[in-house]
């Protein structure tokens, strides 16, 4: 057969499509809730964090809160503008990681990947801790058990995602709209009531705040600036989740990039409106808010501590705005809690996709790269959940302390991604002639340049204000993941060098000596003998390893009676050991003929249930594992399917059709409308 | 090749011997401590139990204690005499199980096996709980933490046995002799001092015992008989462990059976002497002893409760006998504690041997039958340890309550074994003509008959007096194990029927269609292609499953460049899935030619460390697993050994030479003296 025979058929693609996919491509009105919930849900805690930091110096600094929120909004506009460039330039869903990897090389890529892993863990920890806080606002007895509630939520999400759930389902779309609708209505009603002078003050309006230790009296300018900067960097928690859309482009309907960019713009508009509205109304209603952990700093006008379970900002506003309509309050609090849970679900979906991309690039175990590897998928999800629970328990589900770890990772990827995009445009410009296109590119580069400048400044502010407060933990974790990934990559590189083909690799074995391992003369053995004969080896013999002379004689008699025309060799093994005599025999054959190859046929029967697996084939498995370490040997499993094996096949069929976390954002979607694309890329 | 060519060579036996074994065959003076520690250690708790039960009715019944001990001694003499018959008739080490199986059939065999499993668990639980009691006697602060100490001891023994330890080592022999020496000296000194009138009373001699609820005042005759019967059946705990020698015959030097019988006789002599001595001295020194859990029933002469950490019988005697020589007290208590630990170690060694025999007979997973299966071995040991810890924790390490569960199982096997031996002699007599031999056999049958009558009576006493006190738990556990074993056996039988060869099984496949799976063109692939070509299949093609057109093209170019003379077929797979397209393709080939066979060659590279395993071959493993379920397919692993694979081989070499629990009593021993036997059987 010559080289010309090489066939390049594309096969089986069509057949797989129908069975393998469960998700659907997303219209903008579905994509918005699915991908925006992470970013939108930040509104549930970011304003609170601004107020908490400012209140360290008493309520006098609350005047800054509006300006700080505005600064956060400006940063968000810049970042969203930058990501709109990214979704056009990198529509494959690789997001920040791909941008950094392609433009800045593997070190930057691994740095972004480390930051993303840490972020995914923190999304889960922060969102569910915050959700537990909202639960405590609405349901009195939850208060004090936030860590337990958050942990239970992690476990529930883990179970749901291990079973598989369609992210594009209505369950995921409705709550986000409910949240926007509820919060929007609250802000509108609040604005009208404020203008008409009927807006009541918040429940905490009459309270005073005792300055925290070190912040008593008039602050120095430096201390003031530092405190405002701290409040600003905490407020930047509002930006978390913005990047989710850039990882989900393959899930959009065509034109994918344009639709993703539009959704991004919409997200920025809604998020900024909600955040500014919350901060404005909170000031208007004179909400007083301190770290929930330092509730004793809230005192009444006479300076006496008050007995008050402090509610979150949004809950306090809703309580005031809907003072005559309690269902409105409960609707807002519930919708906020639910969207926080959904936000952490995006991490469960994003994490496997990141894992599979890292596996493709050799930074993570290859098993993570195959959707078919259920075990790797499950391990990834459990890994994420365990780390999140560790954080929740270690920080007792205190959002304020978790936030300190959170944003540093987000801004690491923002910065590297912006830098990468600048390189991208510069490279593109070098080869582009058309002046119109060049102008567009230059504009894009300017946007990313401005974004980089902005996010770099914010990053420095975050590092300075948060490092000792907890950011060091996140950085340490990122460093660990970085080292792990580079270790994995080094290993794969070393192996691939050791495996590289050279010229001597085409030598053919001179002869094949086949042995069929026999334990009994039953159907599997006869099938293995038949298959072995069909292969026409140079030598063929059956080998029986036995302890007991009587059993051996019985086999020999049966062999004679059935007139099996393959010679039977009996190896004596004390203590019922099979593996070692077989390996030794194979090694001996090979030694006698170093240029030949030994083909070991192992008859196996396959069963369908896990408990049957325990009862069978353990020895065959060990033997195969051991023979693989023996040079010049190939191991041939000849299976015989027992009736019960059907059960395993059916189980597997069911499993293949199941939706897996991340299917949607990797573009593994079902086509159920004209114009949809099948493979996503 | 004709049937006449069948070769029946015995190979490799000699080679294995040297490397595979670590234990040595035992002289009587080593066998005695190794196998007798279990039975001897019963002296540490059996007399205590007699006193505890009698004290329910106050000290008035203590007068019976000596007679009860004598009755136990008579039972022991009978049982030992019976076992001396067994070790001659069944020298293979199968013990009670083998006797019941051969003579009474599988149901009896499974019953004995269930009883033995329960007994092994209870040996560990009882011995280590008792050891913890002795530790509490000698070391004050242990008192009250007996369950913790016992659990720690279980864990320590588990670790030691997982690592592997030579039972025949001096560490195992010395403590048993120290125990016999210490206890013997104590009894001798005590006897001399008693005769000379200088023996002091025990620390508890002046105390009174309050009758337990329901035993106040004069007992009715029925109640008295019942209480004495209860004390007797608790005292029968002294018989536990007697059967150990019958399971260890293969480990003795020749003449094995005679040596084992002599050791049995010696054991009975020593055990009875020690037990009678302890009971006699305890009475002489007026020891008062109640259930340690009911310490409040011990009162002083005025009827006031006393503050006394009650010590075990042996400890109280040692304290009195060695009142002027404290080291003697500590020596006795320490030696007793150590021999109890060794006694539970015999369970760790006996359990794997039982498992391997059960596996051979199809009552347990076959993996347990192979010494080479480290995993099965470890699982068995961990299983034993976990059950023992559950019992220790559930019963708070209270020996008295654990004893209630213990002896019922022991006497189940005694009875079935005696019955089996009677059948054995009857059957032998039927075919024996020599009058001298017949007389010997008749005498043996008489001994076993007497033994059966005796143990049957004891069994009924135990059932009546212990059923509600806890024996029902042991019986329930035995029933569970019985059901599990019969389920396993049924499954194996069903499978073996399904596998039985019939006439149509000799049909040869008409053609072999071979496919070599290719992921890259590296050394493993080239080797797989070479091996596949050497097999000369009817059709040979290479198959690449890919997502990415660019990667596929690169492979095709390389294929052309290297002039590989095997056609390359490319299967398109969305989402980087390998398994399903491959299986579908193999199925298609098979469908096109139902009488042919598909040979799937999988190039694999093997690595040596567990973390490397995580990074490699997961897909190959899944693929092989899945292909085995596909009819008409054989799976061929072509391994390529990376340099690091050497590490795994070396690890395995070390592991093979390691001593495993049970090696000694299964007769897997090293020959280091003339006259020793190599294979044990």
The β-bridge partners of A542 are A516, A568
**What is the structure's pLDDT at A669?**
60
- Residue B619 — pLDDT band, cuts 50, 70, 90? confident
* Per-residue tokens: B498: 């399904």
Q: Do A629 and B614 touch (CB under 8 A)?
A: no
pLDDT at A490: 94
Extract the tokens encoding A277: 């509205």
Chain A residues touching B639 at Cβ < 8 A: 627-630, 633-635
Query: Would the pLDDT of B675 be above 60?
Result: no
Q: Find the residue in A nearest to B629 (Cα).
A: A641
Q: Average pLDDT for residues A385-409, to the nearest whole number?
A: 92
Stretch B358-368: mean pLDDT: 89
Of A5, A6, A604, the CB nearest to B556: A6
Q: d(Cα B660, Cα B371) in Å, to the nearest integer? A: 8
Q: What is the share, in percent, of chain A residues with pLDDT greater than 90?
A: 54
On the question of pLDDT at A622 being above 80, the answer is: yes
Give the relative orientation of helices B326-360 and B28-41 as an angle to the nearest 10 degrees. Answer: 100
**How far A426 CA sits from the closest chain B CA (Å)?**
26
The pLDDT value recorded for residue B469 is: 86
Q: Considering only CB atoms, which chain B residues are within 8 Å of A615?
A: 365-366, 488, 491-492
Give the residue among A100, A451, A422 at the shortest CA–CA distance from A268.
Answer: A451
Distance from chain centroid for Cα B174:
23
Task: Give pLDDT, residue B505.
Answer: 60
Residue of A262 and A219 predicted with greater confidence? A262
User: What's the confidence (pLDDT) of residue B504?
Assistant: 65
Give the closest of A488, A526, A570 to B10, CB-based: A570
Q: B-chain residues within 8 Å CB-CB of A622? A: 372-373
The percent of residues in chain B predicted with pLDDT above 90, rounded, is 54
Q: Do A531 and B6 touch (CB under 8 A)?
A: no
Q: Is the CB of B648 less than 8 angstroms away from the CB of A629?
A: yes
pLDDT at B14: 34
Flag whether pLDDT at A321 surpasses 70.
Answer: yes
- When scoring A535, A542, A678 by the number of chain B Cβ atoms within 10 A, the one with the most, hence best to mutate, is A535
Mean of pLDDT over chain A: 87
Q: Quote the minimal CA–CA distance from B507 to chain A in Å.
A: 7
Query: What is the reported pLDDT for A504?
Result: 65
B618 interaction partners in chain A (CB closer than 8 Å):
365-367, 373, 375-376
* pTM score above 0.90: no
Q: Is B634 in contact with A629 (Cβ distance < 8 A)?
A: no
**Range with lowest mean pLDDT among A265-279, A315-329, B446-460, B616-630:** B616-630
Q: Is A146 exposed, middle or buried (0-12, 13-18, 19+ CB in 10 A)?
A: buried
**Cis bond upstream, residue A159 (ω within 30):** no
**Is B526 close to A533, i.e. CB distance below 8 A?**
no
Locate B558 and state its tokens.
């390389």
Distance between terminal CA atoms of chain A? 36
Residues of chain A in contact with residue B533, where contact means CB-CB under 8 angstroms, are 508
Which residues from chain A sit within 8 angstroms of residue B605, using beta carbons?
495, 499
Above 50 in pLDDT, residue A383? yes
User: Rounded to the nearest 10 degrees, how much is the dihedral formed by the CA atoms of A71, A73, A74, A77?
Assistant: 160
Distance from CA of B641 to the nearest CA of A (A): 6
Q: Is B406 exposed, middle or buried (0-12, 13-18, 19+ CB in 10 A)?
A: buried
Q: How confident is the model at residue A185 (pLDDT cuts 50, 70, 90)?
A: very high
Q: Give yes or no for residue B186 having a pLDDT over 60.
A: yes
Helix (H) or strand (E) holding B606: strand B597-606
pLDDT digits (tens, 9 = 90+) for A411-431: 999 999 999 999 999 999 999
pLDDT band (50, 70, 90) for residue B589: very high
pLDDT at B446 over 70: yes
User: What is the reported pLDDT for A404?
Assistant: 87
Say what the alpha-carbon torsion angle A542, A546, A551, A552 is, to the nearest 10 degrees.
40
**Dist CA B97 CA B417 (whole Å):** 7
CA distance A633 to A590: 8
Is the Cβ–Cβ distance between A39 and B600 less than 8 Å? Answer: no
Show the DSSP H helices in A432-471 as ranges: 435-466
Q: Which residues contact residue B629 at a Cβ distance below 8 angstroms, ignoring those fewer than 6 apart?
A: A606, A639, A641, A645, A648, A649
DSSP string computed for B442-466: HHHHHHHHHHHHHHHHHHHHHHHHH
Structure-token pair, residue B1: 């090749």
Enter the DSSP assignment of B522.
Answer: S
Question: B322 to chain A nearest CA, in Å?
Answer: 50
Asked if the Cβ–Cβ distance from A506 to B626 is below 8 Å, we say no
Closest-CA residue to A472 (of A480, A463, A459): A463
Q: What is the pLDDT of residue A128?
A: 96
What are the two backbone dihedrals, phi and then psi, of residue B233, each rounded to the nearest 5 degrees? -70, -35
Chain length of chain B: 681
pLDDT above 90 (res A79): yes
Residue B491, min C-alpha distance to chain A (Å): 8
Shortest Cα–Cα distance, A165 to chain B (Å): 18
Pick from B6, B506, B522: CB nearest A556 = B6
Residues 6+ apart with CB under 8 A from A281: A187, A190, A191, A194, A199, A317, A321
Q: How many CB pairs under 8 A join A and B?
A: 340
Query: What pLDDT score was predicted for residue B591?
Result: 92
- Looking only at Cα atoms, what is the longest distance across chain B? 106
Residue-range domain boundaries for chain B: 24-489, 512-641
User: What value does the mean pLDDT take over residues B587-592?
Assistant: 92
Arithmetic mean of pLDDT, A626-630: 90
Q: Say which residues have a Cβ less than 8 Å from residue B51's Cβ, sequence separation at least 6.
A: B62, B65, B282, B287, B289, B313
Q: Which among B563, B558, B533 has a CA at the least distance from the CA of B544?
A: B558
C-alpha span between A326 and A320 (Å, rounded): 10
Looking at CA atoms only, how far is residue B273 from chain A in angstroms?
39
Question: Among all residues of chain B, which has the CA nearest to that of A576?
Answer: B370
User: Which helix H or strand E contains A490, and what residues bound it?
Assistant: helix A472-499
Predicted confidence band of residue A23 (pLDDT cuts 50, 70, 90): low
Which chain A residues are closer than 8 Å to B576 by Cβ? 356, 360, 369-371
In angstroms, the separation between the Cα of residue A627 and the nearest Cα of chain B is 9
Handedness of CA A620, A622, A625, A627 (dihedral sign): negative
Average pLDDT over residues B364-382: 81
| Cβ atoms of residues B571 and B542 within 8 Å | no
Task: Return d(Cα A206, Cα A204) in angstroms, integer.
Answer: 6
- Residues B517, B567 contacting (CB under 8 angstroms): no
Cβ separation of B642 and A573 shorter than 8 Å?
A: no
A182 has a pLDDT exceeding 80 = yes
Q: Which of A45-54, A361-370, A569-578, A620-629 has maximum average pLDDT?
A: A45-54
> Which chain B residues have a beta carbon less than 8 Å from that of A8?
552, 556, 568, 570
Query: How many Å lie between the alpha carbon of A497 and the closest alpha carbon of chain B?
Result: 9
CB atoms inside a 10 Å sphere around CB A387: 19
Residue A3 has pLDDT above 60, yes or no: no
Of B12, B496, B567, the CB nearest to A585: B12
Q: Work out the mean pLDDT of chain B and round it to a whole number.
A: 87
pLDDT-based confidence at residue A66 (cuts at 50, 70, 90): very high
Do residue B572 and residue A376 have CB atoms under 8 angstroms apart?
A: no
Over residues B205-214, mean pLDDT = 87
CB B128 within 8 A of CB B150: yes
First to last CA, chain B: 36
pLDDT, one tens digit per residue, over B495-541 is 989 888 876 666 788 899 999 999 888 899 999 999 999 989 999 99
Contacts of B592 (CB under 8 A, 6+ apart): none
pLDDT digits (tens, 9 = 90+) for A106-115: 999 999 999 9
Facing B639 at nearest CB: one of A628, A656, A678? A628
Closest to B83 measured CA to CA, from B460, B414, B426: B414
Q: How confident is the model at residue A575 (pLDDT cuts 50, 70, 90)?
A: low
Q: Report pLDDT for B24.
A: 67
Taking CA–CA distances from B548, the nearest residue in chain A reads A681
Average pLDDT score over residue span A473-483? 95
Q: What is the pLDDT of residue B23?
A: 61
CATH number attached to the domain at B24-489 = 1.20.1740.10
Q: Which CATH superfamily is domain A512-641 in?
A: HUPs (3.40.50.620)
Decide if pLDDT at A523 tops 70: yes
Question: Is the CB of B570 less than 8 angstroms away from the CB of A624?
Answer: no
The Cβ of residue A140 has, within 10 Å, a number of other Cβ atoms equal to 9
Asked if B522's CB is within 8 angstroms of A496's CB, the reply is yes
Query: What b/e sequence results for A231-260 when a residue is b if at least 16 CB atoms lie within 10 Å of its CB, and e otherwise?
Result: bbbbbbbbbbbbbbbbbbbbbbbeebbebb
Chain A closest CA to B49's CA: distance in Å? 41
Q: Per the CB < 8 Å rule, is B16 touching A580?
A: yes
- What pairs with residue B244 in β-bridges? none
User: Inter-chain contact B526–A506, Cβ cutoff 8 Å?
Assistant: yes
pLDDT at B218 over 70: yes
User: In 10 A of CB B503, how many CB atoms?
Assistant: 7
């Amino acid at each position: 057969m010559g080289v010309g025979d090489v066939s390049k058929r594309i096969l089986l693609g069509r057949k797989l499509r129908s069975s393998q996919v469960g998700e659907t491509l997303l219209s903008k009105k579905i994509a918005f809730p699915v991908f925006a919930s992470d970013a939108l849900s930040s509104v549930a805690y970011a304003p609170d964090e601004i107020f908490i930091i400012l209140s360290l110096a008493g309520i006098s600094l609350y005047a800054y809160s509006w300006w700080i929120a505005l600064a956060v909004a400006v940063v968000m506009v810049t970042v969203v503008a930058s990501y709109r460039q990214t979704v056009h330039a990198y529509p494959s869903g690789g997001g920040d990681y791909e941008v950094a990897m392609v433009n800045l090389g593997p070190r930057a890529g691994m740095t972004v990947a480390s930051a993303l892993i840490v972020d995914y863990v923190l999304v889960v920890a922060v969102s569910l801790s915050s959700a537990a806080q909202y639960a405590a606002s609405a349901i009195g007895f939850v208060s004090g058990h936030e860590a337990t509630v958050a942990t239970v939520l992690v476990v529930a999400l883990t179970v749901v995602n291990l079973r598989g759930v369609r992210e594009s389902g209505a369950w995921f779309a409705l709550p986000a709209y409910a949240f926007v609708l509820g919060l929007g209505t609250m802000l509108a009603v609040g604005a009208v009531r404020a203008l008409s002078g009927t807006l009541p003050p918040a429940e905490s309006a009459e309270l005073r705040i005792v300055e925290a230790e070190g912040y008593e009296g008039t602050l120095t300018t430096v201390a003031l600036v530092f405190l405002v900067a701290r409040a600003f960097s905490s407020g930047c928690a509002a930006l978390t989740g913005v990047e989710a859309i850039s990882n989900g482009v393959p899930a959009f309907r065509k034109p994918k990039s344009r639709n993703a960019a539009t959704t991004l713009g919409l997200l920025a508009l809604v998020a900024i409106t909600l955040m500014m509205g919350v901060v404005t109304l909170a000031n208007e209603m004179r909400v007083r808010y301190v770290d929930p952990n330092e509730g004793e700093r809230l005192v009444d006008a006479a300076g006496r501590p008050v007995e008050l379970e402090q509610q979150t900002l949004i809950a306090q506003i809703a309580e005031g705005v809907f003072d005559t309509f309690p269902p409105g309050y409960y609707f807002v609090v519930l919708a906020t809690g639910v969207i926080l849970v959904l936000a952490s679900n995006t991490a469960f979906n994003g994490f496997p996709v990141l894992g599979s991309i890292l596996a493709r690039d050799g930074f993570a175990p290859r098993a993570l790269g195959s959707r078919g590897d259920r075990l790797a998928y499950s391990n990834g999800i459990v890994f994420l959940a365990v780390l999140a629970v560790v954080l929740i328990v270690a920080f007792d589900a205190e959002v304020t302390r978790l936030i300190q770890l959170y944003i540093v990772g987000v801004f690491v990827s923002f910065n590297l991604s912006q830098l990468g995009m600048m390189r991208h445009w510069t490279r593109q410009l070098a080869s582009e002639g058309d002046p119109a296109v060049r102008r567009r590119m230059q504009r894009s580069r300017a946007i990313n340049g401005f974004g980089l400048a902005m996010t770099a400044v914010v990053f420095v502010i975050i590092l300075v204000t948060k490092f000792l407060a907890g950011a060091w933990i996140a950085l340490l974790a990122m460093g660990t993941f970085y080292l792990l990934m580079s270790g994995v990559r080094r290993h794969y590189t070393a192996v691939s060098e050791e495996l590289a083909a050279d010229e001597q690799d085409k030598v053919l074995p001179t002869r094949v000596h086949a042995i069929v391992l026999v334990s009994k003369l039953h159907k599997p053995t006869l099938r293995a003998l038949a298959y072995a004969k069909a292969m026409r080896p140079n030598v063929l013999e059956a080998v029986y390893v036995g302890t007991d002379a009587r059993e051996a004689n019985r086999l020999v008699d049966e062999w004679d009676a059935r007139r099996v025309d393959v010679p039977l060799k009996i190896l004596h093994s004390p203590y019922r050991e099979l593996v070692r005599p077989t390996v030794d025999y194979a090694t001996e054959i090979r030694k006698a003929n170093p240029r030949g190859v030994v083909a070991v046929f192992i008859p196996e029967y396959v069963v369908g249930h896990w408990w049957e697996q325990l009862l069978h084939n353990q020895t065959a498995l060990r033997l195969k594992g051991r023979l693989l370490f023996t040079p010049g040997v190939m191991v041939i499993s000849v299976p015989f399917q027992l009736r019960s094996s059907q059960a395993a096949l059916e189980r597997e069929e069911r499993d293949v059709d199941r939706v897996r976390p991340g299917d949607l954002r990797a573009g593994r979607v079902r086509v159920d409308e004209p114009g949809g694309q099948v493979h996503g890329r």
